[in-house]
Amino acid sequence: MTALTPSRDDWADALASLYDRSRVLVAAGPRASENWAHDVNAVLDRSVGDPRGWPAVDRIGGENTPRGPGDRFPFHPYEDDVLRGCLEPTDRATGRLLLLSLAAQFRNVGDLPGGSVHRHALFEKTETLLARFGDDATYWTCVEDYEGECTPDDFYVNEWYGLTDLTRDFGVIAVSDNEVGVFWFGADD
């Protein structure tokens, strides 16, 4: 599969369609280190901006307050090796379902409003987001178990290792040669 690199407008449209009201952090940062976990920590610290200047979403935990550089809330201050140890590799297909799950805010993706046709349209938006990182990207998650048929109509996160003090948090990390992407949901209710 050869992913077409999305435009800034495609990326922004996918963010708005999927995460308009979701309690998520979706942000990208540059690869500046051999250790991708170091680059992910920079995104979690909000100490780097998107290398392309593309929009991000930062409403994790339900707060709409803009956060500045060095404000890691709600993420724990993990050392690079510890952060990497909290995550397991996953494949792109599962990563896409997890991105759809972020929009479902910890419900079964089948509960997203709009019916199956709408869910499948949203699922296509997840490809737009991951296409940014190219065909050779690797994906990492804290999700340890999920249920359902692994389709846009039936998928539910069942067990995870949280990276925050929030009651529920999970996500996906995308790693390419040039960028990292953080896609993370978090809420207490």
- pLDDT tens per residue, range 49-69: 999 999 999 999 776 666 778
Residue 69 covered by a domain: yes
Tokens 């003090």 correspond to 165
**Residue 62 belongs to a domain:** yes
- For residue 178, being part of any structural domain is answered with yes
Residue 1 counted as domain residue: no
Task: Tell whether 3 is covered by a domain.
Answer: no
For the whole model, what pTM was predicted?
Answer: 0.93
Cβ neighbours of residue 55 under 8 Å, at least 6 residues apart? 8, 11, 12, 15
Q: Looking at the domain assignment, is residue 2 inside a domain?
A: no
Q: pLDDT per position in the chain (189 positions), as tens? A: 556 789 999 999 999 999 988 899 999 999 999 999 999 999 999 999 999 999 999 999 776 666 778 788 899 999 999 999 999 999 999 999 999 999 988 787 888 888 788 888 999 999 999 999 999 999 999 999 888 888 888 887 888 989 998 988 999 999 999 999 999 999 887
Measured between alpha carbons, how far is 95 from 26 in angstroms, rounded to an integer?
14
Domain count, the chain: 1
The pLDDT value recorded for residue 176 is 98
Query: Position 64: which residue type?
Result: N
Residue-number span of the structural domain to which 89 is assigned: 8-187
